[in-house]
Every structure is written in C-alpha cells, then in structure tokens.
Amino acid sequence: MKDAVARWPVEGSAEVFRNRLIAVRNDKVRMPGGNVAERTVVEHPGAVGILALDDADRILMIRQYRHPVQRLLWEIPAGLRDVPGEDPWLTAQRELAEEASYRAREWHVLADYFSSPGFSTERIRIFLARGLEEIPEQERTFVRKDEEAQLVRAWLPMHEAVRQVLAGELHNGVAAMGILAVYASEGDFASLRPAEAPEA
C-alpha cells in the first residue's frame, strides 16, 4: 500500500486571499463521475519539525503560545519552509538553533506527512536530531521576537512523552507524530532514512 500522485481536472480556480504566509483559492474540480465540486485550498509553504533526543532518551520540548487555539502548547522545535530553495534539512538545523539554541551531529528523517490534506497543501518533514550540543551564548546570532521571545524549554523522558500523547495531554500534531515515530523506531536509528533523503 502506497500513496500515489493523482491530478483530477480543474475547470477553474480563483484566489480569494493572500498574505505573507498563505494563499487561499477556490478550485472547481471535475469528479470522476462527471460532477464539478468546489474545493477550497490553503496554499502553505510547508514546515519542518525536529525531535531532539539526548543520550538519556529525553525529548527537547518547547512551550509556545498558539493564538488560534488560545493555548500554551508543548511542542518540538519546528518552523516554516519559507526560504526559497532551502533544503528541509538546512531549515531544520536553523530552526533547532533559533528556537532551542541547540545543534546536532546526527540527523535522520522520522516522518513525512500532510497536516490537513482535506484543505491545505502544508507538508511537514520531521527529523530526528541526536548528538546534541547547546550553542554557546556568544555564538547565537538570532533574535527571538513575539511568541518566540516567550519560549520555555524543558526535557521530557520519552516514555512520559508517549504517555502524554496517548492520554490527550499533548495536542501539537508535529510533536505527537515525532514522539510516536521515534518510539516506534525502538532505537534502531540506523534504519531510518538519511536527513537528505528526497521527499516522495
């Protein structure tokens, strides 16, 4: 069983909104039975997530305010793929440094998924980062602002992270996917895809 690329005919398309992050359009899609159905599509640049795991099997978590759901959510470091042409692995390295002040020696791909394929093009790649080192204060060249200025870091043991996901206590999808993926790998990290693996 494997996902497959498919393109049903689009009879017409109209953009209804655009800002620096997303665009929204309405497509008129020809269904296999011949009917035309309207589908709203949110165009999104995509994102990366980073499951940073230390030698004690603890996961680096950050707490961030998310206005749409009006909650402080515990998440793994993540960020938009908003630099044209930038490899997702490089985006992940940048985001781990900017959001958590860490770098890593070992990188693998944990998971690739579409966050909400019923209406959004957002594609997310989650990386596993190991061999962690905190970036010294004098080497930090980034400035956190707005919600990022309020980030809180904490380390969560993997078994507790899994428990919290299954108990419905962690709500961030990227974090849940990353936590369950690294747990399912059972420590066989060598079998994971390399960080530069192409996206299918």
Extract long-range pairs of 173-176: CB within 8 Å, 24+ residues apart.
173/115, 174/47, 174/49, 174/75, 174/76, 174/78, 174/115, 174/124, 174/126, 175/49, 175/61, 175/74, 175/75, 175/76
Strands 58-66 and 47-52: unpaired
Positions annotated as catalytic residues are 148
Report the alpha-carbon distance of residue 184 to residue 164 in Å, rounded: 15
Q: Which of 55, 42, 25 is CA-nearest to residue 117?
A: 42
